[in-house]
Amino acid sequence: MKRRDLLLAAGLSPLVPARAFADAPRPPADPAPPGAAASDTSHLVAVAESLKPALRETLQLPLSLVRPVAAPSAALRWRMESEGPVEALAGRVLKKGDAFTLDFGGHRTGYLSFRLVGVGRGVDAPARLRFTFGEVPTDVAEPLYPYKGGLSSAWLQDEVVNVDFLPQDVRLPRRYAFRYVKVEVLDTSPNFGVQFRDVRAHAVTSADAALPPLPAGVPEDLRRIDEVAAATLRDCMQTTFEDGPRRDQRLWTGDLRVQALTNYATFNNTALVKRSLYLLAAFPREDGSIPACVFEKPFPFQGHEYIADYAVLYGVAVLEYVRATGDAAAGRELWPTVKRQLELVGRHVNADGLFADPGGVWIFIDWNAALDRTASMHGVLLYGYRQVLELARLLGLEAEAAAYPERIARMTAAARGAFHDPARQVFVSGPKRQVSMATQAWLTIAGVPSKAEAAAALSAASRMPDVVRARTPYLNHYVVDALLLCGLRREALELVRAYWGGMVAAGADTFWEAYSPEEPLLSPYGDRHINSYCHAWSCTPSYFIRGRGLA
């Protein structure tokens, strides 16, 4: 594939080279919000802020004018049809009620600019415009209102803009995540219309522009999956690892762990990983637990959520960072935070050696209300102990983890006794002995079954008609990981092709936050228009293809 085609496939225009710019610094007089870092963690904040990257901005031109067409057989129920060359837009005079939709040819995180010119008897009123930004055709094809979702409608990517004086160069101030832009002229006056000229997107990322090439023998479908996965990570790499550039736009611990793994195999921006790890450590809650997320703007501060499995995986992410970089000094500085997370979650291991849900604590694992999380959370915690013990050995801190080997042995034995169903050759969870892919995956990753037992459990569970399957790329990442750990490489490859390849077949330029092949319009939030269609935890096929040799 030619370089121009590769850039277009990844959603980047080859027309204009990139340039770097830095965000304006925060005024020192800004007041600290609740949850701001205490003085004893100010050093961690300072380290994180010293690693804040400059963003690369790439100018991109729209490729065509398009219009959405209903397609009931398509996964998202719409497809885009060409409406003519984009050059035709400059010659159109648009008045009240007129509209057009631009296709930029691929996903980007960034800004929109244009020149607006008045044409007619006289510009005697503002031009009022509505912009709707879409990651997928559904976003611009369907009305956003009435909105039925559980998250704030302020995340919806639509704006009403008044341009008072014409002609004028306009750059919309908000950042968006988009491929498509729908523009509606809400009003001018009877005396004039408007023309749009020099419409451009300004894509921003802290990722390097180029990826290392894949080996020559990688099949074309996996190359495309890798391109889409890398574009997903690229557009989430801003001044930290964002979970989604369209919505939330913050650093989440669980997302960070899988983003960092993919980053090491692709853009290898290790400074951004370090910044993210330090930001999370800089804002402990009163008991020393880390928040599930951290906000960056207008300056870094603590999110209010706590997720137990995310907290455990923080230590895993620190271990993987130290391994990837050799930065043992950072590992030692973050060690107290790592150890504290296991101390807190480990309190819920009962006398039988099993994790007992205390209630009132968010255990995520997957977006699936039907999922019993008991066995999965036990597996996450056991895995955390194993990995943090390795971190202690790597840092020369084994004495501080002296209790871990006994805890690991006890929890492993307890899991085999409580969760293994030898008759069905699977692992179960909860009072109803639920069989889920989450349970098989996390107990495999935690080292509870032998390699042969894990392979049997994953294979048997996947064939069960009532098995609770993953509904997000996040959990499917761990299912693929488990399949590889127990030697089921062919099955891992099939899952990547079926699941992430299914999104590619559905038209994905970047991978989605939630995807169920049986229910592609699924939304965890009650309205698909609030879904993120470029989401950090979805980027890991590039890790498996590049870092684990899956191709």
- Answer yes or no: pTM beyond 0.75: yes
Q: Helix axis angle, 374-395 relative to 328-346, nearest 10°?
A: 150
Query: Taking residues 258-274, what's their average pLDDT?
Result: 98
Return the pLDDT at 1: 40
Whether residue 378 contacts residue 361, with contact meaning beta carbons closer than 8 Å, is answered with no
Q: What is the mean pLDDT of residues 295-306?
A: 95
pLDDT tens profile 71-91: 999 999 999 999 999 999 999
Residue 41: its pLDDT value, please? 83
Taking a C-beta distance cutoff of 8 angstroms, is the pair 172, 114 a contact? no
> pLDDT confidence of 379, banded at 50, 70, 90?
very high
Tally of CA atoms within 13 A in the half-sphere of 349 that contains its CB = 24
Q: What is the pLDDT of residue 342?
A: 98
Q: With cut-offs at 50, 70 and 90, classify the pLDDT of residue 457.
A: very high
Q: pLDDT grade, residue 505 (50/70/90)?
A: very high
Point out the least confidently predicted range of 9-23, 203-217, 218-232: 9-23
Query: What distance in Å separates the CA atoms of residue 512 and residue 13, rounded to the nearest whole number?
Result: 22
Instruction: Please state the rounded mean pLDDT for residues 515-538.
Output: 95
Q: Residue 499: pLDDT band by 50, 70, 90 thresholds?
A: very high
Give me the domains of the chain, ranges plus CATH numbers: 59-205 (2.60.120.260), 220-547 (1.50.10.10)
Helix, strand or coil, per DSSP, at residue 241: strand
**Whether pLDDT at 14 is above 90:** no
> What pLDDT score was predicted for residue 208?
87
Per-residue pLDDT, 30: 39
Mean pLDDT computed over every residue of the chain: 93
Whole-angstrom CA distances from 234 to 13, 176, 243, 534 are 15, 14, 12, 10
